[in-house]
Structure 1
Amino acid sequence: MLGLAVGLVVMVLVAAGSGQVAVPPFEVMGSVLHHLGIDTGPLPTHPQGENALWAVRFPRVVLAVLVGACLGVAGALLQGVFGNPLAEPAVIGVSSGAAVGACTAIVFGISLLGNLTVAAAAFVGGLGTTLAVYWLARSGGRTEVVTLVLTGIAVNAFAFGVIAFLTFVADPQAREQIIFWQLGSLNGATWSAVSAVAPLALVGLVLAASVAGRLDLLSLGEGPARHLGVHVERLRLVVVFAVALLVGAGVAFTGIVGFVGLVVPHVIRMVAGPAHRSLLAASAVGGALVLVAADLLARTAVENAELPLGMLTSLVGGPFFFWLLRRTRSRQGGWA
């Protein structure tokens, strides 16, 4: 945790100071301290330094921290409740549902909430789709993990069909906006976006912390967990709702950012072990660190251009997923 926290602070200072208006890390720290009322450290010497930091860079970096933490914790929750290291937030349809909501608002020109309309539609779509997957997977008052995963796959396929249809009927401008949203980006980060995501992220993280102990008991098996007093069905419902809240709030303003919820918790588990109290906390900090670093690479790798954030995370996460798949299969002696 100490290493991750130090790494995150350093990465935040570097990311906030990087761009066309370069600000050294010590000046970034000095600007933050002065805004906190601590008159120490150098202020940015560039005439546009303060404006670049507080109007553009800090909203983007803070949003990256929030979204990364949400995705990392969501992945750890799903891997814990499914008992499978291959689980990630897209499994239960929250990302595809958010995409359907955003695409619907874009294609039909809905603007009830002004600039926040697309983000609100994405959040509602992600939450609604996740609850629909959970309801469809229930039978006899219970929800089996395999049924939940297969239902999520079916709903994902249907959602991507809806997205394809909306893309087909959209005008060229809306089609371009849909494609850009699905690629993922923090380009539109503002303080209003941060203020909208932060409360939802806080609720989701508190819910995650509240179920950490019960997830440890569930890892013993569903039967032993019940004998130890865990209401397994209620636990799954809380986890699914928390994941929908975390991922829905995250992707609402950034678009789809894949594989963070898969890669980060698995790496943390390899280093720190499976205990969920430490795993969830470390996954939050690790997810924030990964997304801040990925966003820094996205906007600085190519001069005068910004690479899609979702593309970068997928280029790294895809091969990692394949390696994880092969490793898991070899350890289990084959899927049969």
Structure 2
Amino acid sequence: MAQAMIISVDVMGGDHGPSVVIPGCDLLLSRRPDVRFALFGDEAVVRPLLDKHPRVREASTFTHCEVTVGMDEKPSQALRHGRRTSSMWKAIEVVKRGEANVAVSAGNTGALMAMSKICLRGLAGIERPAIAAIWPTLRAESIVLDVGATVGADAQQLMDFAVMGGAMARALFQVESPTIGLLNIGVEEMKGNEEVRAAGQLLRESNLPNLTYMGFVEGDDIGQGKVDVIVTEGFAGNIALKTAEGTARQVGAYLRAAMSRTLFARIGYLFARTAFQRLRDKMDPRKLNGGVFLGLNGIIIKSHGGTDAEGFASALDLGFDMVRNDLMAKINADLSVYHRGRLGVANVEP
């Protein structure tokens, strides 16, 4: 019998903490009953919730942690008082020890990244990690990275993001050679800053077997799904992500107002209710909740801090898929091919 997948969970993370995390775990078990959890949090708060969700209690081990990392703490503060004792650190640490397959937290993003980098360390040859988000598109879904981990990435770091994002696309979308685009202010080769243009040259010259570089893409190309993976640095990526989330909420508010304005609009809504439900599902950020930390020796999933139980279950589901589809093996294999190619080019005599 195959060994059950173990998901490590920082129960105290997020705006709502255990009141969302434990029900989220319960939702995942309704879909994936073979999953097991390693839970970390404050026993006084978590135990009563486990009693209300016996399915989660029976499928979990629980470790009491005295320290909770605050959502507004600076990473340096979190490291000073929460390293080795907080629920966040301990959730990451069991991944390092091989006692869990993936860790999921809705906690402080900066603290989670800082602790993950110190505890798990970076992959060989990767200078900075990235956070990869799944983006709904007109075609299906795309991956966008980085959305907040590395501000001001240079050309080599953008190239690394492309390789890791391509590996994630292979794991998630089951495509052999994902299409890659560099986010830019135009599609012409002379557009953009020096680092983006240099990254484009690196991608064109790499000839990697598992990547298909499509050139520059613009902001409005993301939602159209023109490529499987969009690569950018964390400042632009985070703004794009927050803008998309805000636009989805804005459109939803417009639709609700329009459908309730008149009697005929309400009657029309009744006839088109199924279509509107499909639209809501497509635009619901909870369905694609979760950012994947790439570039570390282990899989960490960052859930949105303000999500509900359904959203947290989606982040858990994403972690499950990344493990089941051998994300780490694919990243390591693709990085190995890329680094061998770089060494080969470097060793060619002029």
Using structure 2 for the length normalisation, give the TM-score: 0.29
Bigger relative contact order (CA 8 A; separation at least 6): 1
Using structure 1 for the length normalisation, give the TM-score: 0.29
Task: Answer 1 or 2: which has greater helix percent.
Answer: 1
